[in-house]
Chain A
């Protein structure tokens, strides 16, 4: 049995006989994947694959179009790939400010006890150039208005706008990663968003594995 894993900074997706989505800190130490990508892949797998390549392959497998922009928003970074006429043309990877990515959203939800899926989408967000500055804006707004939910929602709108600008202000994007399950984030993106879920990179790993081995995975 081939074990595939996307071993991210805070969440890991491990696929063997079943699909497991677990906190990276809780991945059993004896699990060594056959084929993996992610920040922890080198030390936890027999073969690690460049995440952008896995993202491309996953996109090609899941998206039945020749032209697409696929964005993966992780807990600490955002990366994207662009295909035109079925050919790879562009990529970008921003991991300079992890404070403004998925992990910050999780922390905010936990601390303020809010569920982003229940929040209203604000018209405007904060300019979250840096996650830490963005978070200090949340504190400022809560001091001023006492409205925690609105402050969190505006922060998330700011993150979404960062992703939108980083990817070149597209008309449409395919979205990969845990934020596919966050309605507020998706509605905060001012373009058409097609969520592909959390297993796009795993799908990419499977494609590479099949090609390299000339067979279906067992």
Chain B
């Protein structure tokens, strides 16, 4: 059975479906027909649009949709839309786990793109990694998993991961304290998808920690790329 999931549903629910074909609907699943313009307002974040398009294109028999504080209101309303008007079998969850399992990947020496791959894969196939810790990260990235993963290639290896992605690895997706945890001496880029309410956190954390706040609607734009490159260069993180 094809089972889609959205956000980070509780581990015990995910385990119930571990023998099924699990599909992360938040992720880039290749080219699918895009119907979001017919049903969603333009000011919808690109991740929510992607979930919607993936769900309609792949038609999983069941969707486990985390609608708790670890996701967002747009996600909760999208869950309603898929259930009520597209007659999908949606199981709503609210992951309020507080037993953290650590942030080994976020703090490791790995390239940033690899970190995100391992963290996202961890929800379907959890593993314990023994990774060397980056003791002196040159840069930090505070973000959710980015719609356009090319942004990750702009950062040096060992870039520390903060924000919701850190909560994700820790298994505590609605832990706001952890989501706002940043190391003040690490030059950090605070990135949010345009139209996502996490922009409120990103802008203010960037202000407090002297980081770079950027938002991007879907594809990485030339100006966002140039800002990140300049910030990392001027703060000594890249040559």
A residues contacting B by CB (< 8 A) are: 50-53, 56, 77, 79, 88-96
Report whether A95 and B210 are in contact in the complex, using a CB–CB cutoff of 8 Å: no
Report whether A92 and B227 are in contact in the complex, using a CB–CB cutoff of 8 Å: yes
A52 in contact with B210 given A88-B234, A88-B235 (CB within 8 Å): no
Report whether A90 and B230 are in contact in the complex, using a CB–CB cutoff of 8 Å: no
B225 CB to nearest A CB, Å: 9
Answer whether residue B231 sits at the interface, using C-beta atoms and an 8 A cutoff: yes
A56 in contact with B223 given A89-B210, A90-B210, A90-B212 (CB within 8 Å): no
List 14 other contacts, CB 8 Å, given A50-B233, A88-B234: A50-B226, A50-B230, A52-B226, A52-B230, A53-B230, A88-B235, A90-B212, A91-B212, A91-B227, A92-B227, A93-B227, A94-B223, A95-B222, A95-B223
B133 CB to nearest A CB, Å: 28
Report whether B226 and A51 are in contact in the complex, using a CB–CB cutoff of 8 Å: yes
- Please, which residues of chain B bring their CB within 8 A of the CB of A52? 226-227, 230, 234
Answer whether residue B28 sits at the interface, using C-beta atoms and an 8 A cutoff: no
Report whether B226 and A93 are in contact in the complex, using a CB–CB cutoff of 8 Å: yes
Answer whether residue B36 sits at the interface, using C-beta atoms and an 8 A cutoff: no
- Please, which residues of chain A bring their CB within 8 A of the CB of B210? 89-90
A180 CB to nearest B CB, Å: 22
Cross-chain contact of A53 among B221, B222, B223, B234 (Cβ < 8 A): B234
Residues of chain B in range 51-69 having any CB-CB distance to chain A below 8 Å: none
Chain A residue at minimal CB-CB distance from B227? A93
10 CB-based A-B contacts, threshold 8 Å: A50-B226, A51-B226, A91-B212, A91-B227, A91-B231, A91-B234, A93-B226, A93-B227, A95-B221, A96-B223
- Please, which residues of chain B bring their CB within 8 A of the CB of A89? 210
- Please, which residues of chain B bring their CB within 8 A of the CB of A50? 226, 229-230, 233
- Complex Cα distance, B227 from A79, in Å, reads 9
- Please, which residues of chain A bring their CB within 8 A of the CB of B233? 50, 53
B190 CB to nearest A CB, Å: 12
A84 CB to nearest B CB, Å: 9
Residues of chain B in range 194-236 having any CB-CB distance to chain A below 8 Å: 210, 212, 221-224, 226-227, 229-231, 233-235
10 closest Cβ pairs, A-B complex: A52-B230, A88-B234, A93-B223, A95-B223, A50-B230, A93-B227, A53-B230, A50-B226, A89-B210, A50-B229
- Please, which residues of chain B bring their CB within 8 A of the CB of A94? 223
Chain B residue at minimal CB-CB distance from A77? B223
- Please, which residues of chain A bring their CB within 8 A of the CB of B235? 88
A211 CB to nearest B CB, Å: 13
- Please, which residues of chain A bring their CB within 8 A of the CB of B224? 93
- Please, which residues of chain B bring their CB within 8 A of the CB of A93? 223-224, 226-227
Give the residue among A91, A92, A96 with the most B Cβ atoms within 10 A: A91
A42 CB to nearest B CB, Å: 10
- Complex Cα distance, B231 from A52, in Å, reads 9
Report whether B223 and A91 are in contact in the complex, using a CB–CB cutoff of 8 Å: no
- Complex Cα distance, B226 from A130, in Å, reads 23
B204 CB to nearest A CB, Å: 13
- Please, which residues of chain A bring their CB within 8 A of the CB of B234? 52-53, 56, 88, 91
- Complex Cα distance, B235 from A94, in Å, reads 21
- Complex Cα distance, B234 from A67, in Å, reads 16
A90 CB to nearest B CB, Å: 7
Chain A residue at minimal CB-CB distance from B217? A96
- Complex Cα distance, B235 from A92, in Å, reads 15
- Complex Cα distance, B233 from A56, in Å, reads 11
- Please, which residues of chain B bring their CB within 8 A of the CB of A91? 212, 227, 230-231, 234
